[in-house]
């Protein structure tokens, strides 16, 4: 079977930073509450007019440069997002045009915070087909556009940003995507969703007045489900590859809440030092969170050749996913 490799990675965080103290000026919250309950100190927010596709393009350009490739080399584009520029067409086609890619298959994946790993697994499967040599996989979110800035229980959590991987099916000494799995439980879809704006409840004066175009969340139930599903997904991918947690140098989890990562670490009996965490400076950027954390860790030189790395995600849907990388 063809080896699917990671040829380059990149990330982009918009310039504007909103601190916890900034938030405390607009909702009844405090730096102390946000820090201790979530681990977040600040988050980046896109500028007005800066869209999901704009963020994605910046991250993609960095990933292409890291891979030493040109837009012309890309045969497939997959974008994970829940905040595309428009409901139709996809963010992917706008990104394809902005990057100047050839007329390659370009589409979005919506699996919320698990979206990037869903997209990686989709690309990994398609790259086994010799028609595709290089895939660009992006997670990009402008969550600030779907947050209710009057709801302190959600608005403190989210941030904007993008991360990208360039995958290939060629050279053997590059990091390898060894395995990937994904799961879903749509019976729990009501734990985290945006009620209006889709076909169930099209936009109207009332939906706008009632703020039904913003994130509605049951944080407590999600917290428990996140720990359970991320632990199970990690255990499953290790088991089916004949590995234990001791074989894993790094875990790169979805960045939703530092307490979720701590509970996951405890459940897996792995020290927190093995977890890549950047939530302090990014907040939860949904589908962008794992590729941003991964690209930053790579840039810091944290991964060594031969390291096994587990990426693990959980999100609205419910959805979950895990990916095993050999660096
Ligand atoms: O990306 C995947 C999807 N998202 C998640 O995975 C989120 C998972 N859930 C969580 O991270 C946590 O449940 C939250 C951070 C959302 C909430 O933390 P919690 O420890 O579960 O707090 P809570 O909802 O039980 O609220 C505790 C108290 C409440 O006050 P009372 O009822 O005890 O008086 C809230 O009203 O904290 C209050 N509260 C706040 N206080 C200050 C809620 N939000 C805030 C806030 N500032 N921002």
| Residue 138: both structure tokens together | 């992006």
Judge if 58 and 91 occupy the same domain: yes
Supply the pLDDT for residue 321: 98
How much distance in Å is there from the Cα of 64 to the middle of ligand 1? 39
> Ligand 1: which of 83, 153, 189 to mutate, judged by most atoms within 8 Å of the beta carbon?
153
CB of 95 closer than 8 Å to CB of 55: no
Residue 236 pLDDT class (50, 70, 90 cuts)? very high
Judge if 16 and 114 occupy the same domain: yes
Taking 90 as the threshold, does the pLDDT of residue 173 lie above it?
no
Residue 230 pLDDT class (50, 70, 90 cuts)? very high
Supply the pLDDT for residue 70: 97
Residue 164 pLDDT class (50, 70, 90 cuts)? very high
Catalytic position from the list 44, 110, 113, 134: 113
Based on its alpha-carbon atoms, the radius of gyration of the chain, rounded to whole angstroms, reads: 19
Q: How many residues does the chain have?
A: 327
Taking 80 as the threshold, does the pLDDT of residue 71 lie above it?
yes
- pLDDT cut 70: percent of the chain above it: 100
How many domains is the chain partitioned into structurally? 2
CB of 280 closer than 8 Å to CB of 293: no
Tell me, yes or no, if 284 is annotated catalytic. yes
Domain boundary among 147, 174, 201: 174
Tell me, yes or no, if 254 is annotated catalytic. yes
**DSSP H/E element including 224:** helix 219-240
Judge if 156 and 182 occupy the same domain: no
Judge if 212 and 250 occupy the same domain: yes
- Residue 284 Cβ inside 6 Å of ligand 1? The answer reads yes
Judge if 208 and 80 occupy the same domain: no
**C-alpha pair distances (Å), 306 with each of 8, 33, 143, 250, 271:** 17, 40, 35, 11, 20
CB of 313 closer than 8 Å to CB of 113: yes
Catalytic position from the list 254, 257, 277, 278: 254
Q: pLDDT tens for residues 179-205?
A: 999 999 999 999 999 999 999 999 999
| Residue 40: both structure tokens together | 């977040």
pLDDT mean over 267-271: 98
Judge if 199 and 321 occupy the same domain: yes
Q: What integer best gives the mean pLDDT of the chain?
A: 97
Judge if 183 and 167 occupy the same domain: no
- Residue 62 Cβ inside 6 Å of ligand 1? The answer reads no
Residue 2 pLDDT class (50, 70, 90 cuts)? confident
Q: pLDDT tens for residues 95-152?
A: 999 999 999 999 999 999 999 999 999 999 999 988 899 999 999 999 999 999 999 9
Of 2, 294, 33, 266, nearest to 161 (Cα)?
Answer: 294
Supply the pLDDT for residue 311: 98
Which residue minimizes the CA distance to atom 7 of ligand 1? 219
Judge if 200 and 134 occupy the same domain: no
Which residues lie closer than 8 Å to 152 by C-beta, 6 or more apart? 27, 28, 29
How much distance in Å is there from the Cα of 220 to the middle of ligand 1? 7
CB of 168 closer than 8 Å to CB of 134: yes
156 CA: nearest ligand 1 atom: 48
- Residue 256 Cβ inside 6 Å of ligand 1? The answer reads yes
Judge if 29 and 147 occupy the same domain: yes
Domain boundary among 174, 195, 218: 174
Supply the pLDDT for residue 171: 73
| Residue 306: both structure tokens together | 């031969």
Supply the pLDDT for residue 324: 98
Domain boundary among 158, 174, 190: 174
Domain extent for 214? 177-326
Measured CA to CA, the distance from residue 282 to residue 255 in angstroms comes to 8
- CATH code where residue 69 lies: 3.40.47.10
């Amino acid at each position: 079977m063809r080896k699917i490799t990671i040829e380059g990675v990149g990330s982009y965080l918009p310039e504007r930073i909103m601190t916890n103290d900034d938030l405390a000026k607009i909702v009844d919250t405090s730096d102390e509450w946000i820090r201790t309950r979530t681990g977040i100190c600040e988050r980046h927010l896109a500028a007005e007019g800066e869209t999901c596709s704009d963020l994605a393009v910046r991250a993609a350009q960095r990933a292409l440069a890291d891979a030493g490739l040109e837009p012309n080399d890309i045969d497939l584009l997959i974008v994970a997002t829940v905040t595309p520029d428009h409901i139709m067409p996809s963010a992917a086609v706008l990104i394809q045009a902005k990057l100047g890619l050839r007329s390659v298959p370009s589409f979005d994946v919506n699996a919320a915070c698990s979206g990037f790993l869903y997209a990686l697994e989709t690309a990994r499967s398609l790259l086994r087909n010799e028609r595709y040599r290089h895939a660009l996989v992006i997670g990009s979110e402008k969550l600030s556009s779907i947050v209710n800035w009057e709801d302190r229980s959600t608005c403190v959590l989210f941030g904007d940003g993008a991360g990208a991987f360039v995958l290939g099916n060629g050279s053997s000494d590059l990091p390898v995507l060894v395995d990937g799995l994904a799961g879903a439980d749509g019976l729990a879809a009501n734990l985290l969703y945006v009620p209006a704006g889709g076909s169930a409840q099209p936009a109207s004066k009332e939906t706008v007045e009632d703020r039904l175009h913003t994130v509605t969340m049951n944080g407590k139930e999600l917290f428990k489900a996140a720990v359970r599903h991320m632990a199970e997904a990690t255990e499953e991918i290790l088991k089916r590859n004949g590995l234990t947690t001791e074989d894993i140098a790094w875990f790169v989890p979805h960045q939703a809440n530092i307490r979720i990562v701590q509970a996951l670490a405890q459940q897996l009996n792995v020290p927190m030092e093995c977890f890549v965490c950047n939530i302090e400076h990014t907040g939860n950027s949904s589908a962008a969170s794992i590729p941003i954390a991964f690209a930053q860790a790579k840039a810091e030189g944290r991964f060594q050749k031969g390291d096994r790395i587990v990426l693990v995600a959980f999100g609205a849907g419910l959805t979950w996913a895990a990916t095993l990388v050999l660096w």
